[in-house]
Chain A
């Protein structure tokens, strides 16, 4: 597991209160991990904080799985 993936997973565990073992790379935050739409806004804020970047709204809308987040942050974080 990459360092970025590990950090993203940690944030998802903390914010959504799900067990780490249940999170798959293609788990959807809303459909599979029980998040609601406000939770996903907060998740994106936590990613920004952790990775020191700003995720524009149109990019944030496309982050629906752990993999999406890792891909985006690998390309865009400092």
Chain B
């Protein structure tokens, strides 16, 4: 059976523009949530987000001229992909290029580009629409750009499963390599929806935190009694997945192995998770079954943990049901520090899950002052802890009742 390992990591997120910087900030309990300053949020119920400063976007990787022709989500995805591919040391050439693919998705894609061009069409007419409008906003164009830039001619696709996108991209890429349709996949997710339409849309759906506008870093607080919704973040996470022998042959550094992947649908509601948590439970159960691990082999749950009143509790119940007999189980939410990166969330959290395996350090759940539920699971409030973990499961759940879980291990 073909085994799949991780040989490259890349990210840009509210805590930094590469893996090491953002990881150090994460385990140091820093928050990347600030007041939104890019546009006027005076009339918005939510005025905070996990934004990336423009000065943090490396123009040597994506030139300002190139950035003008692509939506911000593509720029962020290209930056994370560049780090991951360079980290892996893989150079795609000749025959190997046909066996190397790309699957980097996005939840929403070029929302701000669509918004701006819609205004141009209304106010200035059709002749002012840029020829780059469509290719700059289509979601799969990120996978397209990565394939062109790095000569990757294998499978090329992009999942779009809202907040589960990143995890589906990695899991689907794992399946592609396992089924011998590629030897290497560049996979993950990117998102840049901190724009007027993005914030107002999620606000209208009553999904965003609106109670900590004066203390942004306290806004994202999974499982805490004062949580009031998620805080949006932006960024990208990209992994290089590779068949084990392929990686060994070129002496690649191996961060960990993808051991199992599960998916499910709630068939319940367009925005709410099913109340019994059965969807999330079945996704985790499917991943665990494929991994052939026992429930107590899982040491750490990198939670979806968005800081919404309903979702956090449902996920915790599902985890307790499947893994709760393990009294040493750890669980934390990276979103407490970086916010919810929507389609990039699962990918950035996969990067951090692999760093947890590598460095034996588990990042904290910030702002968890008073849990509103009793559990034996250690939710790692406030400060990171050191623990030699062997296997981690990472969850992502999305609007439409779509669920994905993935297990990484040594």
Q: Is the pair B130, A42 in contact by a Cβ cutoff of 8 Å?
A: yes
Residue A45 at the B interface, CB < 8 A? yes
Cβ-closest chain B residue relative to A42: B131
- Which A residues are in CB contact (< 8 Å) with B155? none
Partner pick for B128 among A17, A38, A45, CB 8 A cutoff: A45
Q: How far is the CA of A17 from the CA of B66 in the complex (A)?
A: 9
Q: How far is the CA of A11 from the CA of B251 in the complex (A)?
A: 49
Partner pick for B127 among A17, A38, A54, CB 8 A cutoff: A54
Q: How far is the CA of A39 from the CA of B75 in the complex (A)?
A: 18
Q: What 0/1 readout, one digit per residue, does chain A (38-63) give for beta carbons within 8 Å of chain B?
A: 10011001001000001000000000
Cβ-closest chain B residue relative to A15: B65
Residue B154 at the A interface, CB < 8 A? no
Q: Chain A contact residues (Cβ within 8 angstroms of B): what range? A: under 10
Residue B271 at the A interface, CB < 8 A? no
- Which B residues are in CB contact (< 8 Å) with A45? 127-128, 130-131
| Residues A48 and B127 in contact in the complex (CB < 8 Å), given A17-B63, A17-B65 | yes
- Which B residues are in CB contact (< 8 Å) with A41? 131
Min CB distance, A60 to chain B, in Å? 11
Residue B132 at the A interface, CB < 8 A? yes
Partner pick for A38 among B63, B65, B132, CB 8 A cutoff: B132
Q: How far is the CA of A77 from the CA of B69 in the complex (A)?
A: 27
Q: How far is the CA of A22 from the CA of B132 in the complex (A)?
A: 25
- Which B residues are in CB contact (< 8 Å) with A54? 127
Min CB distance, B384 to chain A, in Å? 44
Q: How far is the CA of A17 from the CA of B131 in the complex (A)?
A: 17
- Which A residues are in CB contact (< 8 Å) with B130? 42, 45
Min CB distance, A13 to chain B, in Å? 11
- Which A residues are in CB contact (< 8 Å) with B135? 38
- Which B residues are in CB contact (< 8 Å) with A42? 130-132
- Which A residues are in CB contact (< 8 Å) with B63? 17
Cβ-closest chain A residue relative to B132: A38
Cβ-closest chain B residue relative to A55: B127
Near A by CB (< 8 A), chain B positions 120-137 give 127-128, 130-132, 135
Min CB distance, A12 to chain B, in Å? 12
Q: How far is the CA of A41 from the CA of B69 in the complex (A)?
A: 13
Min CB distance, B100 to chain A, in Å? 25
- Which A residues are in CB contact (< 8 Å) with B127? 45, 48, 54
Min CB distance, A34 to chain B, in Å? 11
Min CB distance, A56 to chain B, in Å? 11
Cβ-closest chain B residue relative to A17: B65
Cβ-closest chain B residue relative to A43: B131
Q: How far is the CA of A54 from the CA of B126 in the complex (A)?
A: 12
- Which A residues are in CB contact (< 8 Å) with B132? 38, 42
Q: Name A's B-contacting residues (CB within 8 A).
A: 17, 38, 41-42, 45, 48, 54
Closest 5 CB pairs of A and B: A41-B131, A17-B65, A38-B131, A42-B131, A38-B132
Q: Name B's A-contacting residues (CB within 8 A).
A: 63, 65, 69, 127-128, 130-132, 135
Taking A38-B131, A45-B130 as known contacts, 14 extra A-B pairs with beta carbons closer than 8 A to each other, sorted by chain A number, are A17-B63, A17-B65, A38-B69, A38-B132, A38-B135, A41-B131, A42-B130, A42-B131, A42-B132, A45-B127, A45-B128, A45-B131, A48-B127, A54-B127
16 pairs, A vs B, C-beta closer than 8 Å? A17-B63, A17-B65, A38-B69, A38-B131, A38-B132, A38-B135, A41-B131, A42-B130, A42-B131, A42-B132, A45-B127, A45-B128, A45-B130, A45-B131, A48-B127, A54-B127
